[in-house]
Chain A
Amino acid sequence: MKSILLGTVALALTSVAAFAGSHSVVRMGTEGAYPPYNFLNDDGEVDGFEREVGDEMCARAELTCEWVTNEWDSIIPNLVSGNYDTIIAGMSITDERDEVIDFTQDYFPPTASAYVAASADADLMGGVVAAQSATIQAGYVASTGAALIEFATPEETIAAVRAGEADAVLADRDYLAPLVDASGGELVFVGDPVPLGGGVGMGLRESDGEMLAKFDAAITSMKEDGTLNALLIKWFGEDTQTY
């Protein structure tokens, strides 16, 4: 056992040394399961609004970026321990998260979350409401008095509503809209939209101030020349909020 451990350490210490010193790569961490923000396309590559925004930001900041996917639940711990350098995963800027990581300015304006149910008379305040775990929506549902059931992926929250396990699901309206459109009347928006969060920003380690400034500047320039608005309209439709 000792030799295996030592061997692993030795391998770890030496194996990648040869790659040191070349250009630096910024690793962009995302979930890959939240269209239109981020999802895996038919080729299995990260695609979506954030892919395009992220690539454009990297181009403007003159950084080489690489995309990686990580499960939502462990997306912050893996950032702070350095497995990737940014979180660009439809993550709303909240005070709780801001204590652990830093956010760029928002690249997606504060928008409404919405309830979706299988019938228009679903009980949103006293019934069972599904949400993805560790999201602002889950926090909100817990505060309304409805029974909250949490799921690890957004997909499962929708499936719970279809299966009748939950009366409704609370998620970002932009994530739900394509699903409601494609459901052919099976799923409907219920109740009023709920404004939550301070917009979506990119998460970085608190110690990465220099990179944060670069990305912030890139977002500012994209807001100024209208690139960001064009992308917002491309992915979220004409009615979406723009800058």
Chain B
Amino acid sequence: MFSFCTDPSTLDSWRWMACYLTTGKHMSLYWSFGTVLLLLAITAPVALAFGFAGATAARSRIAPLRWIGKGYTAIVRGVPDIAFFLFFVIALDQAFEYLRHKVKCPGWDQPIRQGNDFIVCAEAKLPLGNAAQWLHEVYGFSLAVLTFAIVFGAFAANVLFGAMRAVPRAQIETAEAYGLNQRQTFWRILVPQMWVYALPGLSNLWMVLIKATPLLFLLGVEDIVYWARELGGTKTPQFTDYPHVDWRMWYFLFLLIFYLGFTKLSETVLDRIMLRLTHGQATSGGEAQRKAA
């Protein structure tokens, strides 16, 4: 990075630190913050959409749809995250490849499962075996988003399901009395009012999601915790220009500060959202706002 970094062992501590903190490896650490934030930014809305769909399905009048919604929340919430990430993602990947295999290689005569191996034709590999590394990374990242969305969507579905039931019955009855049909009642009365009941549960989920990103490495996506562990580990002089003892504590302290700061920021934003959602609601919070106004 800097011109004086050619022989780090001769440097004084400040320059040494400057060189050390700008190695290619540290750059990967800094990039991984972006990866994590991007993952959160994409996953949160997608998971919410999954949750909304799940909750709506779970309270549907059509029995099979209701079974799907209830089954989704029950099964996904019941399976440990790490099992989900280890096996489900591989299964999902194989499902995509299987579909592509069926489409692209109709003339293939060998079995797809050979013992432990999962063999599809080369054109069906996802990403293709000769694709650039960044394509593999983007693909792994997309799988991670999808998996996170499915897992957290199940929890969100449960939260939203409860929130929909928490909307006072009187509100729905009034809507019916005004002649709104079911769809109108749902979209105009139920959904706008349920968020205030859902937000505490959803904010919990958001906090858990922020801290769940180390699971990413199971999918080959290198997140901040992975790099902190890798960079902080003991480095002996044979294998690096910057030998040091076990510094993981400092790296993790840095992560702690990052996560605490992020949590604080999230809380501030969530408080504001809560304030807006409470406005005009038939809750004690809404009542307090009305009186204060």
Chain A residues proximal to chain B, CB less than 8 Å:
1, 4, 8-9, 12-13, 16, 19-20, 22-27, 32-33, 35-36, 39-45, 47-48, 64, 66, 68-71, 73-74, 77-78, 80-83, 85, 100-101, 153, 155, 158-159, 162, 178-179, 181-182, 205-207
A179 near B234 with CB under 8 A, answer: yes
Q: Report Cα–Cα, A207/B54, bound state, in Å.
A: 40
Q: Report Cα–Cα, A73/B214, bound state, in Å.
A: 14
**B132 proximity list for chain A (CB < 8 A):** 19
**In this complex, what residue of A is CB-closest to B237?**
A182
- Known A-B contacts A44-B25, A158-B234; the reply to A16 vs B131 at CB < 8 A is yes
Q: Which of B97, B116, B237 has a CB less than 8 Å from the CB of A100? A: B116
Task: Give chain B nearest CB distance to A143 CB in angstroms.
Answer: 26
Pull 10 A–B residue pairs with CB atoms less than 8 Å apart, ordered by A: A1-B50, A13-B96, A22-B130, A68-B220, A81-B90, A153-B229, A162-B246, A181-B236, A205-B119, A206-B116
Q: How many contacts between A and B, using CB within 8 angstroms?
A: 142
- Known A-B contacts A42-B241, A159-B246; the reply to A81 vs B217 at CB < 8 A is no
A78 near B220 with CB under 8 A, answer: yes
Does B9 reach chain A (CB closer than 8 Å)? no
A206 near B239 with CB under 8 A, answer: no
A23 near B28 with CB under 8 A, answer: no
Q: Report Cα–Cα, A27/B49, bound state, in Å.
A: 36
Does B135 reach chain A (CB closer than 8 Å)? yes
Does B126 reach chain A (CB closer than 8 Å)? yes
- Known A-B contacts A9-B96, A66-B133; the reply to A45 vs B234 at CB < 8 A is no
Chain B residues proximal to chain A, CB less than 8 Å:
23-25, 27-28, 46, 49-50, 53-54, 86, 90, 93-94, 96-97, 99-100, 103, 114-120, 122-123, 125-133, 135-136, 142, 146, 217-218, 220, 222, 229-230, 233-234, 236-243, 246, 248
Q: Report Cα–Cα, A84/B217, bound state, in Å.
A: 15
Q: Report Cα–Cα, A64/B23, bound state, in Å.
A: 27
**In this complex, what residue of A is CB-closest to B116?**
A80
**B222 proximity list for chain A (CB < 8 A):** 69
Of A20, A26, A27, A85, most buried by chain B (CB within 10 Å of CB) is A20
A42 near B240 with CB under 8 A, answer: yes
Task: Give chain A nearest CB distance to B35 CB in angstroms.
Answer: 14
Task: Give chain A nearest CB distance to B108 CB in angstroms.
Answer: 13
Task: Give chain B nearest CB distance to A180 CB in angstroms.
Answer: 9
- Known A-B contacts A78-B90, A100-B116, A181-B236; the reply to A24 vs B136 at CB < 8 A is no
Q: Which of A47, A64, A74, A205 has a CB less than 8 Å from the CB of B117? A: A205
**A43 proximity list for chain B (CB < 8 A):** 23-25
**In this complex, what residue of B is CB-closest to A101?**
B116
**A181 proximity list for chain B (CB < 8 A):** 236
Q: Report Cα–Cα, A33/B235, bound state, in Å.
A: 11
B49 near A207 with CB under 8 A, answer: no
**A4 proximity list for chain B (CB < 8 A):** 46, 49
B28 near A81 with CB under 8 A, answer: no
A36 near B238 with CB under 8 A, answer: yes
B229 near A77 with CB under 8 A, answer: no
A71 near B114 with CB under 8 A, answer: no
**In this complex, what residue of A is CB-closest to B241?**
A42
B24 near A20 with CB under 8 A, answer: no
Q: Which of B53, B114, B123, B237 has a CB less than 8 Å from the CB of A20? A: B123
Q: Report Cα–Cα, A27/B136, bound state, in Å.
A: 11
A81 near B94 with CB under 8 A, answer: yes
Closest 5 CB pairs of A and B: A43-B24, A1-B53, A155-B233, A44-B25, A182-B236
**B25 proximity list for chain A (CB < 8 A):** 40-44
**A207 proximity list for chain B (CB < 8 A):** 114-115, 117, 119
**In this complex, what residue of B is CB-closest to A237?**
B238
A47 near B234 with CB under 8 A, answer: no
Task: Give chain B nearest CB distance to A89 CB in angstroms.
Answer: 14
**B23 proximity list for chain A (CB < 8 A):** 42-44
A20 near B128 with CB under 8 A, answer: yes
**B120 proximity list for chain A (CB < 8 A):** 82
Task: Give chain B nearest CB distance to A44 CB in angstroms.
Answer: 4
Q: Report Cα–Cα, A91/B222, bound state, in Å.
A: 22
Q: Which of A73, A82, A162 has a CB less than 8 Å from the CB of B118? A: A82
Other A-B contacts than A42-B242, A43-B24, A47-B239, 12 sampled, CB-CB below 8 A, are A13-B99, A16-B126, A19-B128, A22-B130, A41-B25, A42-B23, A43-B25, A44-B24, A73-B218, A101-B116, A155-B233, A207-B115
Task: Give chain A nearest CB distance to B176 CB in angstroms.
Answer: 28
- Known A-B contacts A1-B50, A44-B24; the reply to A16 vs B135 at CB < 8 A is yes
B236 near A178 with CB under 8 A, answer: yes
A82 near B97 with CB under 8 A, answer: yes
A41 near B103 with CB under 8 A, answer: no
B248 near A12 with CB under 8 A, answer: no
A39 near B239 with CB under 8 A, answer: yes
**A71 proximity list for chain B (CB < 8 A):** 217-218, 220
Q: Report Cα–Cα, A12/B124, bound state, in Å.
A: 10
